[in-house]
Copies of this chain bind each other. A is one copy, B any other.
Amino acid sequence: MTHLPDNKNPLLQLGENARAAAAELSQAKTALKNKALALMSDGLRENKARILAANKKDMARAQDNGMPPAQMDRLMLNAERIDAIAESLATIIKLEDPVGKLLQSVMRPNGLKIEKVAVPIGVIGMIFESRPNVAVDAAALCMKSGNACILRGGSESWDSVAALVEVIRDALNKAKLSPDIVQIVPSPDRALVGAMLTLDSHIDLIVPRGGRSLVERVRTESRIAVLSHLEGICHTYIDAKADPVKAVSVTLNAKMRRPSICGATECLLLHKEIATTIGANVMFELLKAGCEVRVPAELMPLSPGFKQVAQHDYGYEFLAPIIAVAVVDDTKQAVEFINRYGSGHTDAILTEDKHAAEYFLTRVNSAIALHNASTQFADGGEFGMGCEMGIATGKLHARGPVGLEQLTTYQYRVYGDGQTRA
Chain A interface residues (CB < 8 Å from chain B) = 1-3, 23, 26-27, 106, 108, 112, 114, 121-122, 204-205, 225, 243, 245-246, 249-250, 252-254, 257, 315, 336, 339-341, 357, 361-363, 365-374, 376-377, 379, 382-384, 394-397, 399-400, 409-421
CA distance A384 to B417 in the complex (A): 18
CA distance A214 to B400 in the complex (A): 33
Whether the pair B372, A420 counts as a contact (CB closer than 8 A) is no
Supply 12 A–B pairs (Cβ within 8 Å), ascending by A.
A1-B365, A3-B340, A108-B384, A204-B396, A249-B420, A357-B415, A369-B411, A370-B415, A372-B415, A372-B418, A373-B414, A382-B421
Q: Name A396's contact: one of B121, B254, B382 (CB within 8 Å).
A: B121
Whether the pair B420, A257 counts as a contact (CB closer than 8 A) is yes
Least Cβ–Cβ distance between A15 and chain B, in angstroms: 15
CA distance A3 to B394 in the complex (A): 19
> Which chain B positions have C-beta within 8 A of A376?
420-421
Stoichiometry, as copies per complex, reads 2
Whether the pair B420, A1 counts as a contact (CB closer than 8 A) is no
Minimum CB distance partner of A227 in chain B: B396
Whether the pair A243, B418 counts as a contact (CB closer than 8 A) is yes
A-B pairs, top 4 by smallest CB distance, nearest first, are A373-B416, A253-B420, A246-B418, A397-B397
> Which chain B positions have C-beta within 8 A of A384?
106, 108, 114
CA distance A377 to B26 in the complex (A): 26
Least Cβ–Cβ distance between A20 and chain B, in angstroms: 11
CA distance A417 to B357 in the complex (A): 12
Whether the pair B23, A363 counts as a contact (CB closer than 8 A) is yes
Q: Name A369's contact: one of B368, B409, B412 (CB within 8 Å).
A: B412
Whether the pair A112, B1 counts as a contact (CB closer than 8 A) is no
CA distance A205 to B225 in the complex (A): 13
> Which chain B positions have C-beta within 8 A of A370?
413-416
> Which chain B positions have C-beta within 8 A of A363?
23, 26-27
Whether the pair A374, B411 counts as a contact (CB closer than 8 A) is no
Whether the pair A374, B250 counts as a contact (CB closer than 8 A) is no
> Which chain B positions have C-beta within 8 A of A114?
383-384
Whether the pair A409, B382 counts as a contact (CB closer than 8 A) is no
Least Cβ–Cβ distance between A281 and chain B, in angstroms: 15
> Which chain B positions have C-beta within 8 A of A112?
373, 377, 382
CA distance A252 to B155 in the complex (A): 58
Supposing A367-B412, A371-B415 touch, asked if A27 and B420 sit within 8 A by C-beta, the answer is: no
CA distance A246 to B418 in the complex (A): 5
CA distance A382 to B412 in the complex (A): 13
